[in-house]
Amino acid sequence: MGRRIRTTVLVAAVAGLMVALALWIRRPRDFADEALVQQAMQAGQANGLAEELPGAWPQWRGPRRDGQIDTASTRALLAGKPTKRWESAVGEGYSCPVVVEGMVIMLSRSGSEEVLQALDSRTGERMWRHAWPTEYTNDYGRGPRATPTVAGGKVFALGAAGRLEAVNLSDGKPVWQADVVGGLATAPPRWGFSGSLLVAGDLVVVQAGPPSGVVALDRRTGREIWRTTSDPAGYSSPLLVRCKESSHLVSLTGKRLLGLDPLSGEVLWQQEWPTEFEVNAATPLVWTVPTETGETLYAFVTSGYGRGCCLVRADRESGGKFWNASVVYRTTRLRSHFGSPVRIGDLICGFDEQMVTALEWRTGEKRWSKRGYKKGTVLAAGEHLLLLGEEGELALAKPEEKELREVWRMPAFGEAGPAGKKAWTMPVVAEGMVLVRDEEKLVCLELSPAGK
């Protein structure tokens, strides 16, 4: 009997070692192109170039989709902790609020409906409501994930199952509606449509998935303008960036990073970036640096499930419209599951699983890491970070040479914390407010009047 037990234990141990070895072999390897790293280290100051929408916070990650808080709000955050103004029972979902013209626009789930509504930013009272039926269900919540976009007096919203609605900003009356599933895609992604709609000129851009890939619709009518690739839909949101001589629609799909011509959808450059379960969720960071012959475009992507991060460099081909993409480095030092990183000067800051981490953008070298927030989301406030941990801790902190120094910390949802200990939605800072939500309610915190 003893020999049989020892044999069983030995077999189990060997099997465990084989599994561990297989995982070790499959794990992503760090990589750096030393010549490209050296060129990045010699590059000048990085320029922000994302297209800006008018409004205090009209879309996902702010006016430029870069997670940057405006100067006035940054001063108010530095003046002290915000205090509660109001809260509203908005329902389920991970969609962020947006703020335009004194209105807070929300997309959420209530019972058997997805609800798009406008609240008065001063009082939280409802100004209008537009709803549609849904049967969407998921182990990680039944509510919508994508954040509405406001442009040209209209609100564009995408439900978890693929219902796309365009309504008037003034009263919520419907303008047009489209169903992504059926017309453009065969099915929602595994965890629902999560990429927030991009309004680029006269286009509304959506990651639809197979067979259509990335799709552009006429923002006035909902008519299809173009479709490109057949990539699976990622959970990331596209953005429009402007270089000196061209524009790029940058989209991280379920398997690669694409630079597209916004007028035609033609692929200008691409870089493969496959991830477990096709969960590319964080929005890329994109910027340019000047060169002797023009400019170089850099794009930083990061994903969870052990995938890590990557710096992509794209250079225009001589005399042509297409660009050549190369990997500068790839590392597992920053693995963002769902929280998108921000850039502060030469640092890229974000959540490496459950650690807030800062990398040098030129080399990918780690400056520091800090625990204490679990998983979360981050915004840039000048030279500071505004952090929201999944258990509801809101903190303002200063990235320093070797550490992250907290300025203040507070329970954004009160001592009870967020419903289900899941504050997974990125905060929004605009018009003297910090807005945070959980799976039940939206909380409005008022910024310190001393900083206004």
In this prediction, residue 23 carries a pLDDT of 40
Query: Over 60: is that where the pLDDT of 413 sits?
Result: yes
Q: Is the peptide bond before 211 cis (omega within 30 degrees of 0)?
A: yes
Instruction: Name residue, tokens 């010549």.
Output: 35
* Residue 406 amino acid letter: E
Q: pLDDT class for 327, splitting at 50, 70, 90?
A: very high
Would you call 424 exposed, middle or buried from its count of C-beta atoms within 10 A (0-12, 13-18, 19+)? buried
% of the chain surpassing 90 pLDDT: 83
Between 45 and 189, the higher pLDDT residue: 189
Rounded to whole angstroms, how far apart are CA atoms 434 and 325? Answer: 38
- For the CA atoms of 432, 392, 440, 190, the dihedral, rounded to the nearest 10 degrees, stands at 110
Prediction pTM value:
0.92
Half-sphere exposure of 316 (CA within 13 A, CB side): 17
In this prediction, residue 253 carries a pLDDT of 98
Would you call 8 exposed, middle or buried from its count of C-beta atoms within 10 A (0-12, 13-18, 19+)? exposed
Query: Over 70: is that where the pLDDT of 10 sits?
Result: no
In this prediction, residue 449 carries a pLDDT of 82
In this prediction, residue 2 carries a pLDDT of 56
Q: pLDDT class for 9, splitting at 50, 70, 90?
A: very low
Q: What is the mean pLDDT of the chain?
A: 92
Query: Over 70: is that where the pLDDT of 4 sits?
Result: no
How many other C-beta atoms can be found within 10 angstroms of the C-beta atom of residue 293? 9
Query: Over 90: is that where the pLDDT of 200 sits?
Result: yes
Range from 8-22, 223-237, 269-283 carrying the lowest mean pLDDT: 8-22
Q: What is the largest CA-CA distance in the chain?
A: 79
In this prediction, residue 329 carries a pLDDT of 98
Rounded alpha-carbon distances, angstroms, from residue 127 to 95, 117, 122, 279: 19, 7, 12, 36
